Chain A
Amino acid sequence: MTSLRETDVLIIGAGATGAGVMRDLALRGISSILIDRSDLNAGASGGNHGLLHSGGRYVSADTRTAAECHREADILKRIAPHCIDDCGGMFVAVEWDDETFARRFPDHCRDAGLPCKELSTDAARTREPALPGTVIAAYAVPDATIDPFALVLGHVDHAIHLGDSAYLPHTAVDVFEIANGVIEMAMCRDLRTGAETRIRARQVINAGGASTMDIAQRAGCSDVKLLYSKGTLLVSNTRISKGVINRLRVPGDGDILAPGGTVSLLGTSSVTVPRIEDNRPTVAEIDHILAEGTQMLPVLETTRFIRAFSGVRPLLAAPDAGGNARRASRRFLLFDHEDQGLKNFVTIAGGKLTTFRLMAEKTADLVAARLGNTAASTTSTTPLPQGDAIRWTEPGLAARDWYRRADPSDMIMCECEMVAQSAVDDITADAPGAESHMSLKAIAQRSRIGKGACQGAFCAMRVTSHLYDTGVYDSRGGLELMRAFLAERYRGVRPVLWGAQLPQAELAEILHCGLAGLDLMGSSTTGEPE
């Protein structure tokens, strides 16, 4: 079955940039269809620290990026405070670090216009008790963290509510039909159902993150050149620090511990990878990050980590960086592809989560101009609305909301994160993507389901049962979706399986194999009743 959809702009890639462009355009009165081969934030937008950089990390190497980060972070704190934990941050050098380098930090900050305050070791440790006595220098900076999922859900939801725009998850472009330097049609496929959707758009935006190069090539453009840098992070079971703690040294691995609401994220590593397919975290990366991280924060040695994840940073391949991703530019580039012979195709590549809004603005400026729309971007001043169905990614919110409402008939489906049935029902009914049949995975992406200590071992089963009860699932496929969801969680869980995680993993085996028979599903002799 083929359907045809028409829109002003087709945006490919539902990460922060794609969602940002969608909203920017919608605020200018331009409709769009946003598609993603997976779902919201499936790439680098979801695979990062959630840092809203003060810019401190770049002051020594790239003053412009540092200043840009600082400006953009300020804007986001104004327009989307509900997505942001303005927790502050600190740059800390410990015994092993180069003190001369550390002492230059305030000067670099001044050059980038970044506020920075020196802290005594005692003051630093009072603020962050997890810091060791080996601190030799500490500076406070206005770092913050941002919930990239709340951010992107908010953008997409707002754009949809502003008018004619739509979001299609698990949809990818098969082929661009190009004639006379114009993409006339994007032949897309719903990867879940296999159905074909033809999208006719006046402009096409490639915001495919790590896939931008591939998408550009499909449109016949060979000008996008990226460097893939894989970064791995660990998630702890509880929040270890109040604010962001950065290692004050030449940027390296295991340098940053950022709070993520109720947890902390430690990262990252940076490995240049040739492909983007297999970006699972490895045991070696975890051990490396911990070896580095424990120098700054010895408490990490005994911390319970519940998961790891990797993201692939799509960096612009700068001639001077060689293969070293740490030295590659964090800047972004907008390709108009006109020298490639295309008039209605643009690619936005590179950049950082912190600067996504600016990237979206620049992209929308170009596309709006091409469409003859002269409205200016208003995203730097228009507050991001909140909504019932899109607020559940905030750590701890579901728990506090449930506790406050004190409705015993509203069952808790995920005990670790205390996500209630009503939240699951909200998401299933109204969150972006709801019209295309919410699965457990989609619900998890829009909430804290599966994010706690058990990593979905229990709640996957409870939510799945509930989805059968509510008719969302009506075949054995629901069980297969549960297995797929757990398989994906496992990729992140595997490298942190030690200590307290081993009883947890044993219990998961008991649940998923012993009680659900998932290991025997699919093999022909098996699990199926006699």
Chain B
Amino acid sequence: MKRHTRHVTADLAVIGTGIAGCAASIFARDLGLTVAQIGHSGAMAYTTGYIDLLGVLDGRVLDDPWSGLDALRSTDACHPLARMTNHDIRTAFDRFVRLLGEMGLGYTAPGDRNVSALLPYGTTKPTLSLPDTMLPGSDALHRRAPALIIDFEGLQGFSATEFCTNMASVWPGLRPARLVFPGLEARPVFPEVMARTLETPVAQEQLADLIQPLLNGAETIGLPAILGLQAPDRVRARLEQLTGATLFEIPTIPPGVPGIRLREAFERELPRRGVLLEPQNKVSEAILRSTGVDLTVQGALDDLRIEASAAVLASGRFLSGGLKSDRYRVKETVLNLPVRQPETRDGWFSAEYLDPAGYPVNKAGIEIDAAFRPLGPDGVPASDRLFAAGVVLAHQDWVRQRCGAGLAIATAYGAVQAAAGSINAR
């Protein structure tokens, strides 16, 4: 049996299907470029759903991410976010958040200040934008509004009692309650399953009926993030209508709904916007040419060959497979680009758990120039047609700095602008 190769040409190839890759595809389509995007799964599924920009700098929680970025530019000029102007970052961020809204996932417009977003363990996270389904929780915390927090039998790692207990000192008036999710009695339950079920009117009514008797005057209700997957705002509105209370979601331990929502929204939306999306496989071979980048993808039954005028590498870190290591070195997996990293393995991780400085390996990654072009072994750009974005970049610690989403969005914007420039300069 002959193994076929499909040949495709595109202005831009995007390697990676995380937030950076998806943002890059959208930004490129906005510029009228044809786009082929390749990747497979990855860390996007583990997000809380919060779209942060810069929440922590040098171990301090930032109230104002924008002045934080200013500070970053003077203290850590290699940080990928420091390579862009606040104006460009804001443009990218605004565009991305609006896009999510167009895809059915309403997000708050980014403002000038970070918001304290709720975490399931009764702690908070500084973020710039959050899903509309989660906003009322932050508001309620801000107002110290009494609220009923509901958890579910069989949903592990989310305890309303834990949330209320750990919040008690700053947010009194929280009350925990536990429900059995209709149809999922006496068994382990996944948020994804509850969310999927809650998209049906029947389940919405059943859940509202269970919540009603618990209200006891409560006007605000916190739930784990289970309010549907494709149209959470509609599900929330419907449940609010049925219960007469304000509802908000709190993210949960993976596998949680917010990440699956984002992933599915992009898988649904990108093809609609004309992106050739190959979400099943990673790039098996990438070749840099002077006029672009050739990529090969091995499918189950046939192969795909993409000839692109430029490429954005947004392949993520270890979880997404963009970086991998053996016992000695960290490597970049797609093009074997040099990875900036500590000298030896002993330097990868700090001696102490959660060292406030962050583990040195967190800042390992590929180096870029001002035009987001990855540097080759000789310190000059590996290609004029190759650009990089997202957490594969060196000099950032996205988890600790609470800047993962913002970094992905902003650098995707920067990389696509640069890539478009290189294509147009042909």
Binding site for B on A (CB under 8 A): 280, 282-284, 287, 290, 408-409, 411-413, 458, 461-462, 464-466, 468-469, 473-476, 478-479, 483, 486-487, 490-491, 494, 497-499, 502-503, 505-507, 509-521, 523, 525-530
CB-nearest residue of chain B relative to A468?
Answer: B162
Residue from A411, A476, A514, A515 within 8 A of B165 (CB atoms): A476
> Is B31's beta carbon under 8 Å from chain A?
no
Interface positions, chain B 64-122, Cβ under 8 Å from A, are 116, 119-122
Q: Using A283-B344, A408-B186, A516-B123 as known contacts, list a sample of 4 further A-B pairs with CB atoms less than 8 Å apart, ordered by residue number in A.
A: A283-B346, A486-B353, A507-B254, A510-B46
Question: Is B167 on the interface with A (CB-CB < 8 A)?
Answer: yes
Q: How far is the CA of A465 from the CA of B252 in the complex (A)?
A: 12
Contact with A along B118-143 (1 / 0, CB 8 A): 01111111000000000000000110
Contacts of B272 in A (CB 8 A): none
Contact A283 B170 (CB under 8 A): no
A487/B187 contact (C-beta < 8 A), A503-B319, A527-B123 known:
no
Q: Which residues does chain B contribute within 8 Å of A502, judged by CB atoms?
A: 318, 323-325, 330, 361
Instruction: Pick the residue among A466, A476, A519 that contacts B354 (CB under 8 A).
Output: A519
The DSSP consensus for interface residues of chain B is loop
Instruction: Tell yes or no: B43 within 8 A of A by CB.
Output: yes
| 11 examples of A-B residue contacts, CB within 8 angstroms | A458-B253, A486-B353, A487-B354, A503-B318, A507-B43, A514-B404, A515-B253, A516-B120, A518-B354, A527-B123, A528-B123
Contact A525–B61 (Cβ < 8 Å): yes
Report which of B46, B141, B251, B345 forms a contact with A530, defined as CB distance below 8 A: B141
Cα(A461)–Cα(B157), bound, Å: 6
Closest Cβ of chain B: how far from A304's Cβ, in Å? Answer: 12
Q: Please report the C-alpha to C-alpha distance between residue A521 and residue B122 in the assembled complex, in whole angstroms.
A: 11
Q: How far is the CB of A175 from chain B (nearest CB, A)?
A: 32
Write out the residue numbers on chain A whose beta carbons fall within 8 Å of the beta carbon of B182.
none
Q: Are B253 and A506 in contact (CB under 8 A)?
A: no
1/0 contact string of B12-51 vs chain A (CB within 8 Å)? 0000000000000000000000000000000100101000
> Is B400 in contact with A526, judged by CB distance below 8 angstroms?
no
Interface members, chain B 327-347 (any A CB < 8 Å): 327-328, 330, 344-346
Contacts of A521 in B (CB 8 A): 123
**Cα-based distance from A290 to B345 in the complex (angstroms):** 14
Contact A487 B345 (CB under 8 A): no
Residues of B within 8 A of A411 (CB): 154, 156, 188
B159, A513: Cβ atoms closer than 8 Å: no
7 tightest A-B CB contacts, nearest first: A517-B123, A468-B162, A490-B353, A465-B159, A487-B353, A409-B186, A502-B318
Contact across chains for B43 and A465 when beta carbons are under 8 A apart: no
Interface status of B166 (Cβ within 8 A of chain A):
yes
B positions within 8 Å CB-CB of A: 43, 46, 48, 56, 59-61, 116, 119-125, 141-142, 154, 156-159, 161-162, 165-167, 169-171, 186-188, 251, 253-254, 317-319, 323-328, 330, 344-346, 348-349, 351-354, 356, 359, 361-362, 399-400, 402, 404
Establish whether residues A284 and B346, one from each chain, have CB atoms under 8 Å apart when the complex forms: yes
Please state if A513 and B399 are interface contacts (CB–CB under 8 Å).
Answer: yes
Instruction: Find chain A residues with CB under 8 A from B186 CB.
Output: 408-409
- The answer to whether A468 and B156 touch (CB under 8 A), given A497-B348, A513-B354, A530-B124, is no
Q: Which residue of A lies closest to B321 (CB)?
A: A503
Min CB distance A328 to B, Å, is: 29
Chain B residues within 8 Å of A464, by CB: 121, 162
Residues of B within 8 A of A478 (CB): 162, 165-166
Contacts of B188 in A (CB 8 A): 408, 411-412
Is A526's CB under 8 angstroms from B61's CB? yes
Judge whether B46 and A409 touch: CB under 8 Å: no
Which residue of the partner chain, among A487, A515, A529, contacts B251 with CB atoms under 8 Å?
Answer: A515
Among candidates B251, B319, B361, residue contacting A507 with C-beta atoms closer than 8 Å: B319
| Contacting pair B165 A475 (CB below 8 A) | yes
The answer to whether A287 and B327 have CB atoms under 8 Å apart is: yes
Set of chain B residues within 8 Å of A479, measured between Cβ atoms: 121-123, 166
User: Which of B59, B159, B170 meets A466, CB within 8 Å?
Assistant: B159
> How distant is the Cα of A473 from the Cα of B125 in the complex, in angstroms?
23
Question: How far apart sit A474 and B166, CA to CA, in the bound complex (Å)?
Answer: 9
Assembled-state Cα–Cα distance A525/B119 (Å): 17
Report yes or no: A498 in contact with B169, Cβ–Cβ below 8 A.
no
Contact status A512-B354, CB under 8 Å: yes
A518 to B124, CA, bound (A): 10
Contact A483 B61, beta carbon cutoff 8 Å = no
Q: How far is the CA of A525 from the CA of B116 in the complex (A)?
A: 12
Residues of B within 8 Å of A507, CB to CB, are 43, 46, 254, 319
Using Cβ atoms and an 8 Å threshold, which residues of chain B touch A511? Answer: 46, 253-254
Kindly report which residue of chain B lies nearest to residue A278, judged by CB atoms.
B351
Question: Is B61 a contact partner of A520 (Cβ separation < 8 A)?
Answer: yes
Query: How far is A529 from B61 in the complex, measured between Cα atoms in Å?
Result: 11
Shortest B154–chain A CB gap in Å is 6
In whole angstroms, what is the CA distance A494 to B348 when docked?
9
CA distance A529 to B400 in the complex (A): 17
A476 pairs with B122, CB closer than 8 A: yes
